[in-house]
Amino acid sequence: MSSWILTLVIFAPLAGVGALAMVRGDNKRAIERVALGASLAALVLAVGAALLFFRDAPQSGFGLKATYAWLEGGASEDALSGGRGSIGGVDVAYRVGVDGISIWLLLLTAFLTPLAIASSFSAIQERVREYYILMLLLETAMLGVFCALDLLLFYIFFEFTLVPLFFLIGIWGGSERRRASVKFFLYTLAGSMITFAGVLYTAYYAYRSGAGAFTLNLEELMRLSRAGAFPVGVQGWIFLSFAAGFAIKVPLFPLHTWLPLAHTEAPTAGSVILAGVLLKLGTYGFCRLSLPLLPEASRAFAPALAVLAIIGIVYTALAAWVQTDVKKLVAYSSVSHLGFCMLGLFSMKLAGMNGAVMYMINHGLSTGALFLVIGCLYERYHTREFAKLGGLARRMPVMAFFLIVFTLSSIGLPGLNGFIGEFLVLLGTATSGSTMDGLAPGPLGFSYAAVAATGIILGAVYMLYMCGRVLFGPLVEPVQAGGVGHGERDEHGGSSGHGEPHDDGHGGGDLTRREVAILAPIAAICLLLGVYPKPMLTSIQAAAEANIFSVDDRRQAEVEAAPGGGRAAQGNAEFGMPNAELTCRRVEDSREAVVFLTPHFARLLSSSDGGGDLRVGRTARVASTGGDP
């Protein structure tokens, strides 16, 4: 059962697409039920997959694996020995599996999608069948990304997410929907094309390095990386090509400008999925591909990425503070929050990795829920302007309760889910230069954490400002609270000239039972993760140790095993290189030395012809003719 459960999870929504194709287009209720049923089936299967994974799979490594050959042919003996070989030396297959990191993102996707679909029942009145078909196609692609263990399969699913969301924004979005959808598509497509070049070059270089086949098997590529098959220069170019696609998807400053417009113009469900899952594809790409396959390049580029992340944290927090549109404020907050994820990932510490992955989950829950609440407000008042809303806690106390809960979750109140992720990210960043977790010193430090922490303060300022303006003070409502008025087109594709009203018949009233049923599970999980995050953190750490930091583990073990390793790890004052950035160990038997170099020092030596293969952060052997190296 475990070998095919992930395939069922991935393609359950696709089965729902087939069912929707057979439903009459004017039968709105049947279409909604089929779409919701398909997404709930995927959720049930995802929960079953998680139970099987934690019951049967090892705490480290990938579980629930399945492989079906696609473009696969064994290389000839000539190819394996370095000759030209046969054209059959290609290894591209349908490979799926999960570890303690991807299983939680799989569950997040399967959990948020039915809630997003249910939130659309009153909002979507036109071209209903096409809308839910696109939602289910988008879910299939997202689930596939988190399960893929083949680089080409990962890229196919990663790229396919663009198509459904492009149409969701372009057809059912707001007044600037076309501009938003085109900008979103062009940004992400341009970066993805560069990423595809990196995928192909990775497979090509693996073949040149003795893989025996043109392979895109992620586990095999990880094995080759640990064996030192990718030199530093090659890693650098591949890292940049991967980063071109992933940084835009995160998005990382200054590539973030497409996101606020896309969020603001997207229908409510589109914003929920965009914030809750799609932005995580970028951070997940760095986590799953860049860090384990390209460890030296990741370490070399980490300070620059951290600086961009911190700029994004502070800059977009200030931009959010001055917004006059509630939805745009939350959109800018997403850029700020995802900066913390990047900071944790590139701290190169277990605490930072744990915090970054948990931050992905927490951001998907709290920010997705905030967009749902804002969508409820928009359906009633058809405006999101602060100037036209105020004092709504008196009229809508249930809505006010949920808005405050998710706001406190977003700003990291202790006891709710946001706190532990922020704490671990800042802890990992601040202690990056230490060896307290048994790993080699990382490239960041306390100064990075100190500046990033200002983003948390600013986040509390603008989020509480939003609550104060919308919920408290004198009651302020638009004059035409129950309709769009004068033919103005709303963000869901409806208009005053045709179609049904979008306020579900309740005007400016409080949340309905359906809306409460959508928001209550998210609030419960936010509380549960804030009170007891241990199961999630345990599985994340096991996966990080096995699949991401195993190279660092061996390196640190060598440093500690060296004579005087503990003292050498503290730094070399003469060369001004602290944190084990320059450590030499004499190997008496082979008269060789193991050298660890900073990126700067490696660049100085890379132009020389002498020596051996120098790799940043990875063991490199340099021949010694006598004397001390």
pLDDT digits (tens, 9 = 90+) for 168-224: 999 998 888 899 999 999 999 999 999 999 999 998 888 887 667 788 889 888 888
pLDDT-derived band at 576, boundaries 50, 70, 90: very low
Q: Is the same domain home to 541 and 567?
A: no
C-alpha 453 chain-centroid distance: 21
Confidence (pLDDT) at 627: 39
pLDDT at 60: 59
Q: Which of 427, 455, 269, 259 has its CA nearest to residue 358?
A: 427
Residue at which a domain ends, from 498, 521, 550: 550
For residue 580, is pLDDT > 80? no
Burial class of residue 156 in the structure, from the number of CB atoms within 10 Å of its CB (0-12 exposed, 13-18 middle, 19+ buried): middle
Q: Is the dihedral of CA 556, 616, 234, 230 positive or negative?
A: negative
Q: What is the pTM of this model?
A: 0.81
Tell me, yes or no, whether 300 and 445 share the same domain.
yes
Residue 625 predicted with pLDDT over 70: no
% pLDDT > 90, the chain: 50
- What pLDDT shows up at residue 310? 95
pLDDT of 359 strictly over 50: yes
In this model, does residue 450 exceed pLDDT 50?
A: yes
The answer to whether residue 439 is domain-embedded is: yes
Average pLDDT over residues 236-250: 93
How many whole angstroms separate alpha carbon 119 and alpha carbon 109?
15
Average pLDDT over residues 550-557: 48
The pLDDT value recorded for residue 340 is 93
Percentage of residues of the chain with pLDDT beyond 70: 78
What are the respective helix, strand and coil percentages of the chain, to the nearest 5?
A: 65, 10, 30
CB 115 within 8 A of CB 521: yes
Flag whether 428 is in a domain. yes
Query: 487 near 375, Cβ under 8 Å?
Result: no
Domain that holds residue 601: 562-623
Q: What is the predicted pLDDT for the residue at 72? A: 58
Question: Is residue 481 domain-shared with residue 571, that is, in the same domain?
Answer: no
484 and 511 co-located in one domain: yes
- Residue type for 171, please? I
615 vs 456, which has greater pLDDT?
Answer: 456
Do 417 and 522 form a contact (C-beta atoms < 8 A)? no
Provide mean pLDDT across the span 322-334.
91
Q: What's residue 345's pLDDT?
A: 92
Dihedrals phi, psi of 157, to nearest 5 degrees: -65, -40
Structure-block tokens of residue 494: 């409806």
550, 585, 612 - which closes a domain: 550
User: In 532-569, which ranges are continuous DSSP H helix?
Assistant: 534-547, 550-561, 565-568
Other CB atoms within a 10 A radius of the CB of residue 439 amount to 22
Q: Are residues 439 and 475 in the same domain?
A: yes
Containing 64, the helix (H) or strand (E) segment is strand 63-73
Number of H helices, E strands in the chain: 26, 8
The answer on pLDDT for 624 being more than 80 is no
What average pLDDT does the segment 335-344 reach? 92
Q: Strand, helix or coil at 595? A: strand
Comparing C-alpha atoms, which of 393, 404, 405 is closest to residue 510?
393
Distance CA 294, CA 619 (A): 14
The residue ranking higher by pLDDT, 552 or 291, is: 291
Inform me whether the pLDDT recorded for 57 exceeds 80: no
Residue 455 lies in a domain: yes
Indicate if 538 and 572 belong to the same structural domain: no
SS3 label, residue 596: strand
334 plus 211 within the same structural domain: yes
* d(C-alpha 486, C-alpha 280), whole Å: 39
Whether residue 577 sits in one domain with residue 542: no
Least confident window among 131-135, 164-168, 229-233, 270-274:
229-233
Averaged pLDDT for residues 24-45: 93
Specify the pLDDT at position 1. 63
Residue 609 has pLDDT above 80, yes or no: no
Mean pLDDT of all residues in 7-30: 92
Domain count across the chain? 2
Same domain, 82 and 229: yes
- pLDDT at 31 exceeding the cut of 90: yes
Residue 616 has pLDDT above 80, yes or no: no
* Of 482 and 201, the one with more pLDDT: 201
Does residue 402 surpass a pLDDT of 80?
yes
Residue at 140 is within a domain: no
Decide if 105 contacts 360 (C-beta within 8 A): yes
Q: How far apart are CA 37 and CA 47, in angstroms?
A: 15
- 475 plus 606 within the same structural domain: no
Computed over every residue of the chain, the mean pLDDT equals 80
| CA separation for the pair 167, 407 (Å, rounded) | 30
Give the pLDDT band of residue 433 (cuts 50, 70, 90). confident
pLDDT-based confidence at 44, cuts 50/70/90?
very high
Q: Is residue 353 part of a domain?
A: yes
Q: Is 433 found in the same domain as 287?
A: yes
Using alpha carbons only, give the angle 607, 610, 615 rounded to the nearest 5 degrees: 65
Note whether 122 and 507 are within 8 A (CB): no
Residue 53 lies in a domain: no
**Per the domain annotation, does 82 fall within a domain?**
yes
Per-residue pLDDT at 226 exceeds 50: yes
pLDDT score, position 480: 58
One domain for residues 608 and 535: no
Residue 615 domain-assigned (yes or no): yes
Is-contact 454 314, C-beta < 8 A?
yes
Q: Which of 519, 550, 581 is the last residue of a domain?
A: 550
Closest CA to 238 of 285, 155, 297: 297
- Tokens representing residue 518 in the block: 């959508």
